[in-house]
């Protein structure tokens, strides 16, 4: 019985040592792969420029705001840059194309 306990203790010791060595190697590799340019320092004064940022929730639509959506611009459609959307008082995006009776 004592030999079995010593064997298991030895196995656990070997496992812990190999886990420690592999974690140290991974940390060294990650420092080489992730450069500071990939994670730039973001200052609070820069974040305050964005109206959709909430310090508790992150990037969330803020209630009672009107935004201009510029992601659908095409050369063929000159009105595509005039797409706007509205966020109501509950934080939901309003659809101006469907009346409330059709929902």
33 and 48, same structural domain? no
Looking at the fold, whether 77 and 57 belong to one and the same domain comes out as: yes
Same domain, 27 and 59: no
Q: Within this chain, do residues 32 and 70 fall inside the same structural domain, yes or no?
A: no
pTM equals 0.37
Q: Please tell me the distance from the alpha carbon of residue 9 to that of residue 51, in angstroms, as a whole number.
A: 58
Q: Note whether 53 and 19 are same-domain residues.
A: no
Do 31 and 64 have their domain in common?
A: no
d(CA 83, CA 71): 9
51 and 28 co-located in one domain: no
pLDDT tens digits, 43-100: 878 777 776 777 777 777 777 888 776 665 666 666 655 667 788 888 787 766 655 5
Please state whether 91 falls in left (phi above 0), alpha (psi between -120 and 50) or beta: left
**Structural domain total, the chain:** 2
60 and 89 in one domain?
A: yes
Domain of residue 26: give its range.
2-38
| Whether residue 29 is found in the same domain as residue 56 | no
pLDDT digits (tens, 9 = 90+) for 28-51: 877 666 666 666 777 878 777 776
């Amino acid at each position: 019985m004592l030999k079995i306990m010593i064997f298991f203790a030895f196995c656990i010791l070997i496992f812990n040592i190999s886990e420690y060595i592999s974690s140290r190697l991974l940390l060294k590799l990650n420092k080489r792969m992730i450069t500071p340019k990939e994670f730039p320092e973001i200052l609070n004064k820069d974040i305050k420029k964005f109206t959709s940022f909430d310090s508790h929730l992150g990037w969330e639509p803020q209630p009672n705001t009107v935004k201009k959506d510029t992601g659908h611009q095409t050369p063929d459609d000159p009105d595509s840059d005039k797409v706007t959307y509205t966020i109501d008082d509950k934080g939901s995006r309003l659809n101006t194309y469907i009346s409330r009776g059709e929902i």
